[in-house]
A and B are shown apart, each in its own frame.
Chain A
Amino acid sequence: MSVTAPTAAPVVALVGNPNCGKTALFNALTGSRQKVANYPGVTVEKKVGPLTTPAGRTVRIVDLPGTYSLRARSPDEEVTRDIVLGRTQSDVIPDLIVCVADASNLRLALRLVLELKQVGRPVMLSLNMMDIARKRGIEIDTEKLGRELGLPVVSSVAVRRGGTDALLAEIDRRLAAAEHATGTLWTTPDATALRRAQKEADRILASVVKGQGTPDSLTTRVDAVLLHPVAGLIVLLAILFVMFQAVFAWAEPGMDAIEAGFHFLGDLVAGLPLPDLLKSFLKDGLIGGVGSVIVFLPQIVILFFFILILEDLGYMARAAFLMDRIMGGAGLHGRAFIPLLSSFACAIPGIMSTRVIDDRRDRLTTILVAPLMTCSARIPVYTLIIGAFIPDREVWGFVGLQGLVMFGLYTVGIASALAVSFVVKRLIWRGKPGEPFMLELPDYKIPQAKSIAIGLWTRAAIFLKRAGTTILSMMILIWVLASFPQPPEGATEPAINYSLAARIGTAIQPLTEPLGFNWQINVALIPGMAAREVAVGSLGTIYAISGGEEATDKIAAALSSQWSLATALAFLAWYVFAPQCASTLAVIRRETGGWRWLWVTFFYMLALAYVAAFLTYRIAAAFGGG
């Protein structure tokens, strides 16, 4: 085995309880060089990053999903167990296990260390967040702890420069010793073994910790409000409301700049001495189409900014706590709150994070309703239609009407998700009790700018990659459909009326006519299956070609002159429900292990979309919006 090839570099695996600061430590060790991929066969995120130790050794650091025990109960924890035990088919077999523990919350971590000692691989313990522990009056005798546990113990402060020096030196020392894995003594513990281990952990803890410390006073004070039965819920609603207003207000300068940039590019191409058809392809197809999607990057970044901050603060677990009873009434598990909130960004990570729910029925219900949460791909569509049809003015003196309509659309998504899960619980599961809600409420932590930045960069990169691949190819397809065949000589109507797009759009007209949709909408719906936001670019391309208008920035003007208000509202209603995302459906198939739930999701959402759009159109038309 070659030692120079990066894949043969020794693997150091970080294992620890949820919220122990493991990911912050991973970020501190690997910085932006980390790679996020999936483990073979599963969709659990595999985070690996290179690191050069002080001794010049190249090491691969792996951040494993957090767990309280190797007794895996969910797919996430199975990955941790299998890698720790070396049972995996992936190339990640740890040469050294670093158990990361929150020094101010050591009790459960020590039990995990005792379990890790049994797997027969080199293990060490890193006491993270030592600074916080000290501030709270917790003094840990690390040498004695090392003797008691029979393994090296170092302390680390992930967020401070030089805070990982001791850890790195110890990693070097352990790897230089080149210990070999021995046979594992680990077997799935039963309650008696767990109890014995926890009591042993408690005994060790009592002998090495001087000064029991006080509970984090800031957390106690903040929780007095944030977990208050009434005030807590009000604050939660307020946070969500601010979040959605911010998505609109803060994103505007960035969006204007991106729009201007693409406009400039389009003009540049228009001035080039090229054949008209090629010019149209570059300007309307590529630049206009892709530009009209990328313009939403600022909104997506802002949404993820909020989600990442709330997660790092430790608020997400509180939100789940506050929502458990309310969601339970709708047949959802409190833990479903985090996947559902992630689904506001994108249903795909949302559905993937349902892995934290180990009960199969609870998990399936959550997967079924996750696509109803308003994902960021709907934002472009909503923004476009709201911008074109809803006047930009303030109501009650301080709330933007456009933001309010947006909030309303989100609310409809949430309400329908609750309603659907209620029905599923009654009809399909017939009210069987679900799994218990048990969740650690970690102490609040100040989010670190670096980890937020890395998180935002990862999400933005995923969006831009999508824009460069899926969305770009759909844009080319739409341009081709909208441009060919070319109009005959002496044609009087706009060129697009002779195209394939017009024929397809007209062919399905009878189906969508009751919804107030015209053929242009029909054409935009089809590529929207690949990615919802493509509908915006498609409409841009279709109207740019038919009207000869400037692409991206004039779509709204074109729509408001050509659609009735009722059509616009019906289109919004359609988008709240429609299963317009092939990737989401693919993830559902993969996560549920079959086609059945994919089709269930597809058809129930399609039916809801049709009914909702139909009712919206008829009602709006009856009130004079037609």
Chain B
Amino acid sequence: MSSEPTIALGVAPVGFRGRIQAIAAGRVAAGMPAPELERRLIELGFVEGADVEILHQGLFGGDPIAVRVAHTTIGLRRREAMAILVSVGAEP
């Protein structure tokens, strides 16, 4: 439904705001099978249509990141955040 360009949340800088367009766990080489990663992300509230904002990042390599999704703050590594595709510029 959206034709906006998407990027992976894993490459976004601190302060980034966007809206989740898709969960694409298959594109991540995580330590678990893609369907499992997808389920875990959904369980923490990462579903299509949710607004996200990157609040903080770690000292080394900007990793991990603290992401606000709806009203919950989740800490996760950039590697797994690569599975979250977001469109730029959610309405405030």
Tell me whether A199 and B47 are in contact (CB under 8 A): yes
Tell me whether B75 and A107 are in contact (CB under 8 A): no
Complex CA–CA separation, A334 to B59 (angstroms)? 14
Tell me whether B44 and A108 are in contact (CB under 8 A): yes
Complex CA–CA separation, A554 to B57 (angstroms)? 52
Instruction: Give which listed residue, B32, B42, B63, B73, contacts A325 with CB less than 8 A.
Output: B63
Instruction: Give which listed residue, A223, A321, A438, contacts B44 with CB less than 8 A.
Output: A438
Tell me whether A194 and B64 are in contact (CB under 8 A): no
Quick one: given A198-B45, A359-B31, are A325 and B71 in contact (CB under 8 Å)?
no
Interface segment, one of A149-157, A226-234, A251-259: A226-234
Q: How far is the CB of A597 from chain B (nearest CB, A)?
A: 21
- Would you give the 0/1 interface string for A68-98, flagging 1 where the beta carbon is closer than 8 Å to chain B? 1101010000000000000000000000000
- Would you give the 0/1 interface string for A404-447, flagging 1 where the beta carbon is closer than 8 Å to chain B? 00000000000000000000000000001111111111110000
- Would you give the 0/1 interface string for B66-86, flagging 1 where the beta carbon is closer than 8 Å to chain A? 101011111111011000000
Tell me whether A215 and B71 are in contact (CB under 8 A): yes
List residues of chain B with CB within 8 A of the CB of A111.
43
Q: Is A549 an interface position by the 8 A CB rule? A: no
List residues of chain B with CB within 8 A of the CB of A71.
39, 43
**CB nearest to B58 among chain A residues:** A325
Tell me whether A229 and B59 are in contact (CB under 8 A): yes
Tell me whether B56 and A227 are in contact (CB under 8 A): yes
List residues of chain B with CB within 8 A of the CB of A432.
31
Q: How far is the CB of B72 from chain A (nearest CB, A)?
A: 6
Tell me whether A438 and B80 are in contact (CB under 8 A): yes
Q: Is A135 an interface position by the 8 A CB rule? A: no
Q: Is A145 an interface position by the 8 A CB rule? A: no
Q: Tell me which of A322, A436, A440, A442 has the highest count of chain B C-beta atoms within 10 A of its own C-beta.
A: A436
Q: How far is the CB of A215 from chain B (nearest CB, A)?
A: 6
Q: How far is the CB of A273 from chain B (nearest CB, A)?
A: 67
Which A positions have Cβ atoms within 8 angstroms of B? 68-69, 71, 73, 104-105, 107-108, 111, 189-191, 194-195, 198-199, 202, 212-213, 215, 223, 227-230, 232-233, 317, 320-322, 324-326, 329, 334, 359, 432-443
9 pairs across A/B with beta carbons < 8 Å? Answer: A71-B39, A108-B45, A215-B71, A326-B60, A435-B31, A436-B40, A436-B80, A438-B74, A439-B74
8 pairs of A and B residues whose beta carbons are closest in the complex? A229-B59, A433-B31, A227-B56, A321-B75, A436-B80, A441-B73, A194-B42, A325-B60
